[in-house]
Amino acid sequence: MPDRHYTWDEMLQTYEIQMVASHEKSKGRTVHGEELSALSFWLLQDTEKKGSLEIEETSKLLQGLRFEPVEDWKSF
């Protein structure tokens, strides 16, 4: 994510979720694995655990996932 530094606990949580996602994919449960993988990145951006993101937060999440940044919801 742009302009973001991570704590050890955040990195550990992301790594743990990615390990479970990889395990699910290796067992043929690809969709579940992809959902878990996406969750790990979502949790990095949704630091307040509010369950939704404003457009600025969404744009940073997309940039972190190597998509083009968005200016507003219409361009999303």
Residue 15 belongs to some domain of the structure: yes
Q: Which amino acid is at 70?
A: V
Residue 73 belongs to some domain of the structure: no
Residue 3 belongs to some domain of the structure: no
Query: What's the pLDDT score for residue 9?
Result: 92
Residue 59 belongs to some domain of the structure: yes
Asked if the model's pLDDT at residue 1 lies above 80, the reply is no
Residue 1 belongs to some domain of the structure: no
Residue 35 belongs to some domain of the structure: yes
Kindly state the helix (H) or strand (E) to which residue 30 belongs, with its residue range. Answer: helix 30-45
The model's pLDDT over 9-54, given as tens digits with 9 standing for 90+, comes to 989 999 999 999 999 999 999 999 999 998 998 888 888 889 998 9
Whether the model clears a pTM of 0.85, i.e. scores above it, the answer is no
Q: How many domains does the chain have?
A: 1
DSSP 72: S
Kindly state the helix (H) or strand (E) to which residue 63 belongs, with its residue range. Answer: helix 55-64
Residue 76 belongs to some domain of the structure: no
Q: Range of 46's domain? A: 8-64
Q: Measured between alpha carbons, how far is 14 from 18 in angstroms, rounded to an integer?
A: 6
